[in-house]
Structures are given as C-alpha cells and as structure tokens.
Chains A and B, each alone.
Chain A
Amino acid sequence: MAIVAGESSAGAVQERRPPEGGRRDRLRLRRGDGPRRVPWVWILPGLVVAVAIQFYPVLSGSYYAFTSWSGIGPSHWVGLKNFSAIFSNSQALGPLVHTLELGFAFVIIANVLGLALAVGLGNALRTRNFLRALFFAPVVLTPLATSYIWAYIFQYTGPLNNVLSALGLGSLQQAWLGSPTWALWTILVVLVWQNAGLSMVIYLAGLQAIPSELDEAAAVDGASAAYRFRRVTLPMLMPAILINLTLTMIYALRVFDQILALTNGGPFGASDTLATAVWKQTFVNDNYGYGAALALLLTVMVLLIAAAQWGLVGWFNRRASA
C-alpha cells in the first residue's frame, strides 16, 4: 500500500485512511518499548548543524528587516516601517503579482505535464527507458546553462524567430525576453522545460506503486479509462502529488537565478518576482532592510501556500476515500 512522503506535515491525510494492521503495531511499539527506545541524542548532529548554519544566521539576518540598513555599515532600527512601505508602495505590487502568476502557472503546468508524461511513458512502451532519460536530462543541467541556451533561443535573431518566419508566421516575431507581455511567460517555458522531468519521475514512482490488479479489476467491472483514472489512479497517487506540489511550489516561489540570467527582471520590471526583488534590493539598490522585509514576506507566503496545498490534498483524499 502506498503511503505518503511529507505526510508528516499532513497528518490528516493518513488519519482518514482505513486503519491497517501495520499502523496499529506501530502505535503500540511507540508507546511501549521502554529503555530500548531510540535515544534522543541521535538528533543532535542534525539539529546542531541546521541551527548553526541555517536557523541562527537567518534569524539574526532577519533583524535587518526591521532596520533601514543599506547593506553596509551601521544599521538603525525602524520597526515595521519597511513592511508598511511594501504595502503602501504600488511598485512592490508588481513583483508580488508576478510571483503568484509564475508560481501558480508553474505548479499547474509542471505537474500536469509531469503526470501526463509519466502516464504516457508507462510500462507498455518499448522506448520507455530511453524516453524517460530524455525527459529527465534537462533536470541535471546547471540552471545557468539552461538559461544561456534559452536566452540564445529567444534572441531576436535566434532560433525561435527563425522558425516562426520559416513557417510564414513572421508577424509573430518579437523580442521575447524584452517584451512586457511575454517576458514572464518565456521564463515559465524555461522553468517547465527544466523541471517537468523531475515531476515525471516522482509520478512514475507513484504510478508503479499502484497495484495493477486494482486498475484491472475496475476495468473488468466495465469502468471507463477516465473513470478509472479519477477514482483509482488519482487517489492512489496522492502521496506523489503532495511531494510534487510542495517541491514545485517552493521552487517556483524562490527561483531567481534563471530570471536574472534571462531577463534580469525586465523589461522595466515586467518579470520581476519577489525573489529577484529581494536580490536587487539587498545587493544592488542599497536597500538591505527593505529587501529583508520582502524576503520575510515571501517566506510567509511560501508557508501559507504550502499549508493550503497540504490542506487541499487532505480534503481531496478524504473525499476520495469517502
């Protein structure tokens, strides 16, 4: 039986599952194995290194969000002024909207495409191993290298426009990375191309965990393929969906080196996201305090959306098992 990764954060998912023997045993074991229990001291190395390298530096760095620090020299406490500046400044709204647009579009497309590829490349295909490697290849490419390839493709004199004019669609030619309308979506294309393979592999593993007898039984009962997918495959796939949603969402909201390399957030901010705005404010514009406040805001957003995702998956699961 397939069970969830990341279910840690979505206990509800499992709560509603029909109790199984294994689970009862586990509970009993946890309560009652006395002196032979796993010693707490085992968590020390992991906890210490995470606190020393991540939690402590980030927390002490977060202090700057409440200062007017330029990024160098002494800093002055300003309380919540940076946060109120963010919310009162309509310019900060652009990156926020772009982050959400890019984030949602990426999560949906990467997952739908990843799932479609995984289903399409099921066990029956003779070329499946080759094709899987092919779709996975962009995942291992350095993000910067990916950006260079695509920057070349999207150049005004580049391959994409060449193809368009060869197809007689010359009127569609444009400066993709320099277009206020298209810049953000060219970035989306690059992100999807690079990451759909990762989603695919996680879905593949999830699909392989589904016992084929289940699907066959439903087929024998005369259920349509669409019905089987919705009522059998999808609910069984929830764990993989949850991992994928979490990983793609965190990735999409925080990605910035590809954006900097492709458009630098331009033209005129048309593809600036919160992550690129944080980079620019902290390291380019001498507004470290403001940038730090933006970064904290982004963190809150990531946590809220993650919680919403986990809640949604839990709700879906309960409905499916009802």
Chain B
Amino acid sequence: MTSWVRPGRTLAVAAVASASLVVGVGASAAKSKSSSNVHGSITVDALASSGNNLTPLQMEANAFMRRYKGLTVKVEGIPDQNYNAVLRTQLQGGGGPDVYLGSAGTGDNAAILTFAKAHLAADLSSQPWATKIAPNASGYYIGKKLYGLPMDFTPYGYIYNVADFKKWGVKPPTNLSQALKVCAAAKAHGGIGFAIAGAVPANTGVYAMEFAQADVYAKQPNWDTLRRHGKVKFATSKGWAQALNDFVKMNSAGCFEPGASGAGFDQLTQLLGSQQAGAVASPTFSIPTVESAAHLTLNVFGGFGSAGEGGALGNFSNAIAMNPHAKNAPLAEKFLAFLASGEGQHIYAAADGDPSFNQIKKGTIPAKLGISGIAKTLKQQTLAGSISWPPADWPNQAVYAALGTGVQGLMTGQTTVSAVLKSMDAAW
C-alpha cells in the first residue's frame, strides 16, 4: 500500500522558511535557451518506492519528454533501503547519474550539502530559477552557493482516524495527559491509541521528534544552532530529557500496540487501515494512499508533550541535485529548469501526496491531502520561519540513528534516557 517513510526524506530537511518557491519561471527560461546544444539523454537516480505507481521523478521525466521530443531522461528507480549506499558508491567512484534525488541539509546519507562539500553536487547558483529561492534557505545553501532544487514540502504530525476518535469520544490531544486519556479511551473500546513501528528507527525517531518539538524546539527554536556552537548538549538538556521521558510515559501507559518493539511499517498500515489503531506519528504523504486503500478518513494533529502543544514539523526534504561530472550537463540543466517550473513543481507535489510551498502559504492545501488539521499551524509557522525538521540540519545521519535506536531501547527497557542522549552527543 504505502511506504511510511523513505530514507531520502525521513531524515530530511531544513527550513526553507523564507524561500519563495518558484512558479512558472523555469519552463520559459529553458525555452529561451538555445536548444541546439541540448540533445541526447541523461540518467536520473530516484527512489523506486511507489509500488506499481510511477515515481514522481518518472512522471516528471515523462512530461518532460512529451514536451521536448527527441530528448531522453532515463530514471533509475533504486529500492529505498539501498538508495543511499548505491548513490554514494557511484558518485564517490567518479560515476553516477547526471541528476539525482537527495535530501536537503546534512543529516542524511543522501543529503545534498554533504555531497556538495565533497564536490559531488554541482553549484546551481547561476541557474535561471536559482534567484527565485531565497538566499537564506537552510539545507540548500553553503554560503551563497545553491546546491539543490527543492520540490514538495513534507509535513510531519500524528495521522489519526477521525471515525475512531469520534467513537472513542476523544479529541486530538494538545498535551501528554490528554494523549494518555486517548490511550485509555481506546483501550476501553478494544482499540489501540497509537501504533508505532518499533523495529524501524525511522519511525521511532519521528515519535521522539514530535515530543522534542513540544518540549525543546517550541520554547527554543534556535536550540540546534546552540548545539552546533557547543553551547548546549543533548545530555544536559532538560527539554530533551523531558521529551524522551514523555515517550516513556506513553509507552508504559500502554499507548502502543502489543508487540510494538518488533513491529515494522507494514503493521502500521495494518493497524491504522483495519481501524484498530487511532493514530500514528509519520510524515503525512502516506495519507491519500491509506485512505483510498482502507476507505477511511484521516486527518492530522501536531506534536504534544507534557509542556503542551508543539505544532507542526516539516521541510522540503526532496532536493534534486546535479552531478558536477554530469555527462550531459546542458540536458541536465534543462531538466532541472523544467522541475523548477510551475508544471514541474505541481507534478511532483501531486504525485507525492504533499503540499507545495505556495499552497501552504496561501492556505490552499487540497482537501484530499488530509492535513487540514494542521493547515493553520503550518501556515503560521511557515510565515514566521519557525518550521523545520531538525534532524536534517544535524551534522550526520548517525545522530538521528542514535535517537531512533535509542527510543527502541527505551521501549524494551534496554537503555535509559540519559544514555540515549549521551549517545546522540557522541554521534554529533
């Protein structure tokens, strides 16, 4: 049915808060360019993750080839578990695709800024569409140089089954004690408050981040900046300890499904789809697929903690980068320009089940995306520049991995909150 999290995007990105994303520039810019030197074919590395559906980049490539006859864009779909390793090996070995899907920031193995530092992502600052992206957008720039093209926006939150919550007589919780009441009500009706894929660090990590959003970032939005400068540490942060303790409280209150520590993503689909589980912390792009597969209505609420509401998390995780050693740079640039165009941006966001930047800003997020529950917060936070997915800006993937496996250890009682936080500092 759906994959709940794709590595390229799980650990994704940073606030492109003030970025004003382009609509309608690229295509015309590309046309104005002399097309005589653009010919032949390019390859694009992308995730192969949508089952029998075409991947967003394949749809882009098809649209591109329909428009420009005689040009070929070959999209290589690579299964997500191996995507990062394959891409890294190919680029590091001096080869690889002309254009590839990465994620914004540095906190991921396919993060474009990490590639950029290793001279494996091309400087895109002089592309015709580049000026339309605000110069301060983090996760895409090093200094004044731009290294990626942001596609759709990925919000994170708790996806919940509207009918279940109604039946249980509860509302989306805004703090921990309300959430515990949701769990109790669910149990009384033979259901499960929250489903978690305990065996998958990418999902346990999302839970931890939702609590961190409420207990850390809502109060101190610049916490990561302080951490980068060594002014604060995970291990000594009261907020972070609070966040993980909140999770432990959820766990010991029996909020999660039995056997949660061994559950994978497929159990999430099963539990939510069969109406047993009320809510799941996840990126929201899976909503349309689950809704249509299981015939239910889903919506989203934001993070909560013992300190209260946390609001939304999210970023432009999908970043398209160009190989500086591209065999056919003119065509690669032309394809990027198409992706930056209104048409290109629309195709991607629609295919992915995510909103585009303009939809968020104007408050015109399509209802079928099922995220009306956080649309308002999303808009406010976006305009205030306070929306982000912090792990994207962490220095490497190991920090988020330490958090994800650490939460797993908290569920099974193999580790303690302070040990998890220490291991995150060590990985930093």
User: Are chains A and B touching in the complex at the 8 Å CB cutoff?
Assistant: yes
* Interface of A toward B, CB cutoff 8 Å: 70-74, 151, 154-157, 161, 173-180, 183, 260, 263-264, 266-270, 280, 283-287
Please give, as numbers and ranges, the residues of chain B lying within 8 Å of A72 by CB-CB distance: 88, 91-92, 114-115, 118, 120
B396 touches A (CB below 8 Å)? yes
For B194-214 the 0/1 string (1 means CB < 8 A from A) is 000011110000000000000
Chain A CB within 10 Å, residue with most, of B81, B91, B262, B406? B262
CA distance A268 to B118 in the complex (A): 31
Please give, as numbers and ranges, the residues of chain A lying within 8 Å of B219 by CB-CB distance: none
CA distance A175 to B267 in the complex (A): 12
A164 to chain B, nearest CB (A): 12
List the 3 closest A-B pairs by CB distance, nearest first. Answer: A178-B262, A156-B259, A268-B409
CA distance A183 to B84 in the complex (A): 26
B397 touches A (CB below 8 Å)? yes
CA distance A72 to B259 in the complex (A): 38
CA distance A40 to B118 in the complex (A): 45
Please give, as numbers and ranges, the residues of chain B lying within 8 Å of A268 by CB-CB distance: 405-406, 408-409, 412, 414-415
Tell me which of B200, B263, B409 contacts A156 (CB under 8 A).
B263
CA distance A173 to B199 in the complex (A): 17
CA distance A86 to B408 in the complex (A): 23
Q: Is the CB of B118 within 8 A of A73?
A: yes
CA distance A151 to B197 in the complex (A): 14
Q: Is the CB of A267 within 8 A of B408?
A: yes
B134 touches A (CB below 8 Å)? no
Given A72-B115, A267-B198, A175-B263 contact (CB < 8 Å): yes
List residues 243-263 of chain B with CB under 8 A from any CB of chain A.
257-263
Q: Is the CB of A266 within 8 A of B405?
A: yes
Tell me which of A71, A73, A154 contacts B262 (CB under 8 A).
A154
B398 touches A (CB below 8 Å)? yes
Q: Is the CB of B409 within 8 A of A151?
A: no
B106 to chain A, nearest CB (A): 10
Tell me which of B81, B85, B199 contacts A263 (CB under 8 A).
B199
Q: Is the CB of B406 within 8 A of A287?
A: no
Tell me which of B119, B263, B405, B414 contacts A180 (CB under 8 A).
B414
Given A72-B118, A268-B405, A179-B261 contact (CB < 8 Å): yes
Q: Is the CB of A283 within 8 A of B262?
A: no
Q: Is the CB of B88 within 8 A of A284?
A: no
CA distance A269 to B401 in the complex (A): 12
Please give, as numbers and ranges, the residues of chain B lying within 8 Å of A270 by CB-CB distance: 412, 414
B427 touches A (CB below 8 Å)? yes
A178 to chain B, nearest CB (A): 3
For B120-141 the 0/1 string (1 means CB < 8 A from A) is 1000000000000000000000
Please give, as numbers and ranges, the residues of chain B lying within 8 Å of A74 by CB-CB distance: 118
Q: Is the CB of B88 within 8 A of A178?
A: no
For B71-86 the 0/1 string (1 means CB < 8 A from A) is 0000000000100110
B268 touches A (CB below 8 Å)? no
For B387-414 the 0/1 string (1 means CB < 8 A from A) is 0000000001110010001101101101
Q: Is the CB of B199 within 8 A of A267?
A: yes
Q: How many residues of B contact A (CB 8 A)?
A: 40
Q: Is the CB of B401 within 8 A of A285?
A: yes
B107 to chain A, nearest CB (A): 10
CA distance A286 to B85 in the complex (A): 11
Q: Is the CB of A286 within 8 A of B109?
A: yes
Nearest residue (CB) in A for B81 is A260
A229 to chain B, nearest CB (A): 41
Please give, as numbers and ranges, the residues of chain B lying within 8 Å of A155 by CB-CB distance: 259, 262-263, 267
Q: Is the CB of B414 within 8 A of A284?
A: no
Chain A CB within 10 Å, residue with most, of B114, B261, B411? B261
B264 touches A (CB below 8 Å)? yes
CA distance A266 to B259 in the complex (A): 14
Q: Is the contact region of chain A dominated by helix, strand, or loop, or is it mixed?
A: loop
Please give, as numbers and ranges, the residues of chain B lying within 8 Å of A174 by CB-CB distance: 259
CA distance A285 to B404 in the complex (A): 13
Please give, as numbers and ranges, the residues of chain B lying within 8 Å of A263 by CB-CB distance: 199, 262
Nearest residue (CB) in B for A270 is B414
B66 touches A (CB below 8 Å)? no
Q: Is the CB of A283 within 8 A of B88?
A: yes
Q: Is the CB of B401 within 8 A of A178?
A: no
B189 touches A (CB below 8 Å)? no
Given A156-B258, A178-B199, A284-B109 contact (CB < 8 Å): yes
B267 to chain A, nearest CB (A): 7
Given A72-B118, A268-B412, A287-B398 contact (CB < 8 Å): yes
Please give, as numbers and ranges, the residues of chain A lying within 8 Å of B187 by CB-CB distance: none
Please give, as numbers and ranges, the residues of chain B lying within 8 Å of A269 by CB-CB distance: 405, 409
Nearest residue (CB) in A for B261 is A178
CA distance A156 to B119 in the complex (A): 46
B117 touches A (CB below 8 Å)? yes
**15 A-B Cβ contacts within 8 A?**
A70-B396, A71-B109, A72-B118, A73-B118, A74-B118, A156-B262, A178-B259, A178-B262, A178-B412, A260-B81, A264-B199, A266-B199, A267-B409, A267-B414, A268-B408
Q: Is the CB of A180 within 8 A of B397?
A: no
Please give, as numbers and ranges, the residues of chain A lying within 8 Å of B84 by CB-CB distance: 283-284
Tell me which of B198, B396, B397 contacts A178 (CB under 8 A).
B198
Given A72-B114, A268-B415, A286-B109, A175-B405 contact (CB < 8 Å): no
Please give, as numbers and ranges, the residues of chain A lying within 8 Å of B85 by CB-CB distance: 283
B85 to chain A, nearest CB (A): 4
Q: Is the CB of B427 within 8 A of A175?
A: no
Please give, as numbers and ranges, the residues of chain B lying within 8 Å of A283 by CB-CB distance: 84-85, 88, 109
CA distance A269 to B405 in the complex (A): 8
Please give, as numbers and ranges, the residues of chain B lying within 8 Å of A179 by CB-CB distance: 261-262, 412
CA distance A190 to B366 in the complex (A): 46
CA distance A284 to B397 in the complex (A): 7
Please give, as numbers and ranges, the residues of chain A lying within 8 Å of B115 by CB-CB distance: 72
Please give, as numbers and ranges, the residues of chain B lying within 8 Å of A287 by CB-CB distance: 398
CA distance A178 to B263 in the complex (A): 7
CA distance A255 to B257 in the complex (A): 31
CA distance A15 to B267 in the complex (A): 59
A78 to chain B, nearest CB (A): 17
Q: Is the CB of A175 within 8 A of B259?
A: yes
Nearest residue (CB) in A for B119 is A73
A sample of 12 more A-B contacts (CB under 8 A), given A183-B262, A268-B409, A283-B88, is A72-B92, A74-B118, A156-B262, A178-B198, A178-B199, A179-B412, A260-B81, A267-B408, A268-B415, A270-B412, A280-B401, A284-B398
Given A283-B84, A284-B109, A177-B398 contact (CB < 8 Å): no
Chain B CB within 10 Å, residue with most, of A73, A155, A264, A267? A267
Tell me which of A70, A73, A175, A183 contacts B260 (CB under 8 A).
A175
CA distance A59 to B243 in the complex (A): 46
